[in-house]
Amino acid sequence: MLIETVKHALIGAATATALTATAHADMDLSGKTIEWIIPFSESGGSAKWANFYAPLLSEALTGEPTVVVKFMPGAGSTKGANHFQENVEADGLTIFGSSGSTQFPYLLGDPRVRYEYNDWNVVLASGTGGVAYLPPDLAKKYDGDVTNLRGEDFIYGSQGATRLDLVPLLAWEMLGLEVEPVFGIKGRGDGRLMFERGEANIDYQTSSSYLKGVVPLVEEGKAVPMMTWGALGVDGDIIRDPTFPDIPTFKEVCDATVGCLTEGEKWAAWKAFFIAGFPAQKMVFLPNGATDEMIETYSNAFKKVHARDDFSEISKKRLGVYPQMTGATADAALKSATNVPDSAKAFVVNWLEERYGVTLK
Q: Which domains does the chain have, with CATH numbers?
A: 2-127+279-342 (3.40.190.150), 130-276+343-352 (3.40.190.10)
Would you call 345 helix, strand, or coil by DSSP?
Answer: helix
Identify the pLDDT of residue 14.
43
Residue 17 has pLDDT above 90, yes or no: no
The DSSP code for 321 is: S
What is the predicted pLDDT for the residue at 19?
Answer: 42
Half-sphere exposure of 70 (CA within 13 A, CB side): 16
Containing 66, the helix (H) or strand (E) segment is strand 66-71
3-class DSSP state of 228: strand
**pLDDT surpasses 80 at 23:** no
Is residue 2 predicted with pLDDT exceeding 60?
no
Please write the tens of the pLDDT for every residue from 44-73: 889 999 999 999 999 999 999 999 999 999
pLDDT of residue 3: 44
Mean pLDDT of all residues in 193-218:
96
Whether the predicted model's global pTM rises above the 0.75 cut: yes
Per-residue model confidence (pLDDT) at position 27: 95
pLDDT band for position 8 (50/70/90)?
very low
